[in-house]
Structure 1
Amino acid sequence: MTRIHVNCPTLFTGLEDTPRQHQRLVIENGVFSYVGPQASAPEPVPGEQIIDTGDHFVMPGLVDVHTHIVFGNAKSEEDVDLHVSPEFRALRGLFFTQHVLAAGYTSVVVPGDAGNCSISVRNAINAGMFTGPRIAASSNVISNRQSLNDWFPSWVGTPDYFTGRLCATRDDQISEIRRQAKDGVDLMKIAMDGPHFRPNGEHIAAFTQDETSFMVDEIHRLGKKVAVHAYGREAVLYAAKAGVDVIFHGFFMDDACIEAILESGCHVAPTFTMLANNVEFAEDYEASTRSGYAAMQRRVIDIGCRNLRRAFEAGVPFMAGSDSGFAITPYGEWHAREIEILVDWLGLTPAQALRAATSVSAKMMPASQSVGALEVGRRADFIRVDGSPLDNVAILQERERIRGVYLGGRRIEAQVPGYDPYKVTDLSTVKWAELHTRQRAIDLGKRAPSTANNR
C-alpha cells in the first residue's frame, strides 16, 4: 500500500497541551509512520496520496467510553430489553454507528448490552463487511439485587435477552465472567449499585468488597477490562480497591474513595451528559418535573460536581463518556457535550478535556486498536474541524464543523439517513401518558366546570 501524506497547518496530537504548527502525518498500512514537522518529513513519491487540510484543525478521532450502541435511542428500560430481538438490536446498532462517525467519534466503548449484540456489530465492522467506528464490545451487565440493570420486578427477573444478568452467587459470577470471555468481549461491566438506599439516603453497594475483588481479579486474569456503574460512596470505594479500569459516575465519592482511586490507578468517567440533558429538557415534560426526577438529577449534579472537582484537583484521571443511546442522548448528537462539561463544570482546561476524550479514553479500547493520539505506531484515525476546539470545545457538538473523518487514513463518508422511530425504537405498548380524570378534562378545557357548587 502506498503512503498517504497529510499536511496539517494546525495539529493537536492528543498528548500535549498546545497545538503544533506546520506538521505532516505520514500513513502506511493504516498506521502513522511519521508525525512531525513538514520540513523534515519523508517526501512523497509519484503516485502517493497527498491530503491538504487547509485551515482545518486536525486532531485524533474522538473516543466515547460510554455509548450503548444497540439501545436504539430508547425511551425506557422496556425499550432497551423487551420490544425487539437481539438480532434486530445488532442490525440497528450497525445503522446508528453512522451517526456516531458523523459526529467525529471514531471509537466507542459499549459498556453493557444483551448477549452478543455489540460483539456482532464490532465483528462485522472488523471483518470489513460494514464501515463503522472501532468498538470495544461487552455483553450483559453483571448485576445483583440492589443494582442497575436488575430494573424489572423480581417476578420478572433477568432473562437471557435482557441487558442485565443476575449473578447473586459466587458460582453465578464466575460462570458469567467466563462465558463472556469465551464469547469475545473486550470489557465487562459490573453494576455496583442502583436505586436502593439506606435510611440515611446513602446508596447501598450491590456487591461486597470480597465479591467485587473476586470478580475483578477473574476478569483481569482472563485479559479483559472492567468498567463499573457506581454512584455511591460504598460502590466507588469497593470498585477502586478492587482495581477496576474505569468507574462510571462516582458522584458521591468521598476522600477515602479518591485516595483508593489514586492508589489503584483506575480512571473515572463522570458521564454527566445524560443528567445535564435531563435537567435542561425537563421543562418540556411535565411528568419529569412532577415526579421529582428532574429535581433528583439536579441534586446529583450539584453534589457530583463538588466531589468530582475535588477528585480532579487531587489528580484522578478522567475519561469522557456521554451515555448515548437513549432518547435524551441520541446517537451523534451529544457525545461531545461531555467534553464541554469537563471544562465548564469540573475545571479541566480545553486541552485536558480533549485528551480525556482521546488518548485517555483510548485506554479502554482493545490493545489491537491503538488509537486516541496522533503518534507513530497508532492507528491513523483523525478528524478535521472547522475552528479550534482549544478555543471553544463546544464547537465539537456542531456536526457541520466536522469537515472530515478518517479511519486508518481513509476518509469516511458516514451515511446518516433519516428514520422512523416508531419502526426502529418506539415500540412500547403504552397508549396514554397521563391519567385522564374528569378534572383533567376540565383543566384542559375539554369539559365545562361543574355547576353543582353554584346552586
Structure 2
Amino acid sequence: MTDTTYIRCGKLFPGVGDTVLENQTIVAEDGIITRVAPSKDIPKSADATEQDFSRNFVIPGMIDLHTHLAYGNAKTEEDIDLYSSLEFRAVRGVFFAHQVLSSGFTTIGAPGDSGMVSRAVRDAIDAGLFQGPRIAAAGPYITSRQGLTDWYPTWIGVPTTSIGRLVTNRDEAIEEIRKQVKEGVDTVKIAMDGILRRPNGELVAAFTLDETKAMVDEIHRLGKIAITHARGREATLYAGKAGVDLIFHASEIDDEGLEAVVANKCSICPTFTLLRNYVDFVEPQDPAFRERRNSVWRTEFESAVENLQKVKKAGVPMPIGTDSGFALTPFGEWHARELEIFVDYMGFTPIEALRAATSVGANLVRPSDRVGTLASGFQADVVALDGDPSKNISILLDRSKMKSVLKGGKVTPPAKREYDPGKVSDFTQVISSELYTRERVSKLGYRAPSMHH
C-alpha cells in the first residue's frame, strides 16, 4: 500500500531559482515527491497523512559536504587517529549522525574518515537500523610523505587507524583507489596539501600534477567523485588542472588556479566555518590561541574571503561544508553557520546561500539520492521554519526556529542529547598542561616546599 503524505507549506523555497512560493502543498508517495502545487488544488484526503506547515517557511533538507563522522568532536589529532577502535568510531558516528540530521541537514558528505567508518554508518542508516542523514561516504584520505594526515614521525608512519592512507608511489595510489572503490565508497579524497612550506611561506603540494591527474582519472574511470583537501596555491592549481569534482578550502587560490577550476568545471567548498570558529572562540588555554593571538587564523580567513570572492564572481559552484567533527565544530551545532558567513562576508544573498546549501551541493552526493530540490521525483526531505531565512539567514542557527525536519516525508525526532566527552572522544593521555618550573610555581602563588627537615 502506498504511503501518501501531504506537506502543506505557507512559504516554499524549492531549492532552485530565486522565487519563494506561497501556499503550496508537496505530495509525497513512499517518501518521493510526486507533485508540488497550490494548496487549493490539493484538497484533504482520507488516504493521506497531513503535515501542516501552513504557517511556516519550508526549504529542502540542507546538505553539508564536509562532515567527518569518525572524528568524534575531537580536541587532538591523536584522538582522531589513534585511541578509539574503528568499531567504536562507527557506533559513535551513528549517534552523531542523528544530531546532524535533527539540525536540518538531511544529506552530508563524509569526505575522509578512518577505515570504512562512514560507509558503515551510511549503510546502517540506509538499511533503516538508525536515523541519520543520507551520506556520500569516502574512505581514508590518500596522502604522501609530508602530506596532510602524515603527521607523525617516520618511525611511526601513518597508523592503520588513521584518517589517512600513505602511498609512496603512483602504483600504490591507484591500488588504494581501486581498493576503496571495491569496498563501496561514493567519493575518494586526495590530501593535496603537504605540511612543508617554501621559504616564502607557500605550502608545497603533496603530489605532483602528473600524480594528481593519474589519481583523478582513475577515480573518474571507476565512476566515483574525486575530492581534494587543498588550501595552498599549488595544491589548488594541481587539483583544478586534474579536473577534480570538488576542492575543499582553496584559501590561497590565485588567478592561474581559478582559470583551471573554471576550465575543468570544478566546484569549491570554502569551509569557512572551522576557520571562523578558530578566530572567534579559541580560549587562552587552547594551543591554537597562540595562532589566534598572532592573527594566523584571522589572516587566513580574510585572505580566503578575498580570494574566494573572485571564485564566486567567476561563477564557480560553491556548495557549503563546515568541517564538523572537531571540538570547534561539534556535530549538529554549526552546520548553518557556513550560510551565514556566505551572506556576511562573501556577498551571497540569503537565497543564493540557500541554493548553496541545497541544489548546488546536491551535485556532489550520490546521484540516486535525488536531493536538494523540492520537485517531482526528488526525496521529500524538508525543513520547516518559524521565520523567513530569505530575509534573515541566521535563523537557521536558532534551533527554537526549527519547527520540524522530515526525511523521506517522515518526521525526524529531536536528537539533542548530552554525553560525556571523557568517555566518547577525549582519550589523549595528557599528564599536565603546564611546565612547573620554580618561576612558574611562584607566579601561580605557590611556595615550593623546603627540601630540608
TM-score by length of 2: 0.96
Query: Any stretches of 5+ residues in structure 2 without a counterpart?
Result: 449-453
Q: Which residue of 2 aligns with 1:421?
A: 421
1:358–1:282 distance in 2 versus 1, CA, 3 Å: same
The percentage of aligned residue pairs carrying the same residue is: 48
Q: Which residue of 1 aligns with 2:409?
A: 409
Matched residue count: 449
Q: Which residue of 2 aligns with 1:304?
A: 304
- How far apart, CA to CA, are the structure 1 residues paired with 2:323 and 2:422? 22
1:53–1:284 distance in 2 versus 1, CA, 3 Å: farther
- How far apart, CA to CA, are the structure 2 residues paired with 1:207 and 1:302? 27
Q: Which residue of 1 aligns with 2:37?
A: 36
Mapping of residues 108-127 of structure 1, within 5 Å: 108-127=108-127
CA contact (8 A) 1:6 1:51 kept: yes
Partner SS, residue 135 of structure 1: strand
Q: Which residue of 2 aligns with 1:6?
A: 7
Q: Deviation of residue 389 (structure 1)?
A: 0.9
Q: Which residue of 2 aligns with 1:83?
A: 83
- How far apart, CA to CA, are the structure 1 residues paired with 2:401 and 2:253? 36
Q: Which residue of 2 aligns with 1:334?
A: 334
Q: Deviation of residue 162 (structure 1)?
A: 1.1
Deviations 1:381-409 (A, max 9, x none): 01111111111111111122211010110
CA contact (8 A) 2:23 2:54 kept: no
Deviations 1:297-328 (A, max 9, x none): 11111111110011111211101000000001
CA contact (8 A) 2:282 2:292 kept: no
Q: Deviation of residue 22 (structure 1)?
A: 1.1
Q: Which residue of 1 aligns with 2:17?
A: 16
Q: Deviation of residue 291 (structure 1)?
A: 5.3
- How far apart, CA to CA, are the structure 1 residues paired with 2:365 and 2:200? 38
Deviations 1:408-436 (A, max 9, x none): 10111033321111000011101212212
More displaced stretch, 401-410 vs 175-184: 401-410
The amino acid of 2:36's aligned partner reads V
1:26–1:252 distance in 2 versus 1, CA, 3 Å: same
Q: Deviation of residue 283 (structure 1)?
A: 4.0
- How far apart, CA to CA, are the structure 2 residues paired with 1:286 and 1:50? 49
Q: Deviation of residue 286 (structure 1)?
A: 5.7
The amino acid of 2:232's aligned partner reads G
TM-score by length of 1: 0.96
Q: Which residue of 2 aligns with 1:360?
A: 360
Q: Deviation of residue 293 (structure 1)?
A: 7.4
The amino acid of 1:302's aligned partner reads E
Partner SS, residue 197 of structure 2: coil
- How far apart, CA to CA, are the structure 2 residues paired with 1:97 and 1:311? 31
The amino acid of 1:191's aligned partner reads A
- How far apart, CA to CA, are the structure 1 residues paired with 2:129 and 2:399? 26
Partner SS, residue 276 of structure 2: helix
CA contact (8 A) 1:278 1:294 kept: no
1:212 aligned to 2:212?
Answer: yes
Query: Any stretches of 5+ residues in structure 1 without a counterpart?
Result: 449-455
- How far apart, CA to CA, are the structure 2 residues paired with 1:327 and 1:286? 11
1:379–1:18 distance in 2 versus 1, CA, 3 Å: same
Q: Deviation of residue 443 (structure 1)?
A: 1.7
1:66–1:294 distance in 2 versus 1, CA, 3 Å: farther
- How far apart, CA to CA, are the structure 1 residues paired with 2:233 and 2:402? 39
1:434 aligned to 2:434?
Answer: yes
Deviations 1:176-198 (A, max 9, x none): 00000000000011000133111
Q: Deviation of residue 336 (structure 1)?
A: 0.7
Cα RMSD after superposing both structures: 1.7
Q: Which residue of 1 aligns with 2:131?
A: 131
- How far apart, CA to CA, are the structure 2 residues paired with 1:394 and 1:325? 21
The amino acid of 2:246's aligned partner reads V
More displaced stretch, 407-416 vs 419-428: 407-416
CA contact (8 A) 1:17 1:351 kept: yes
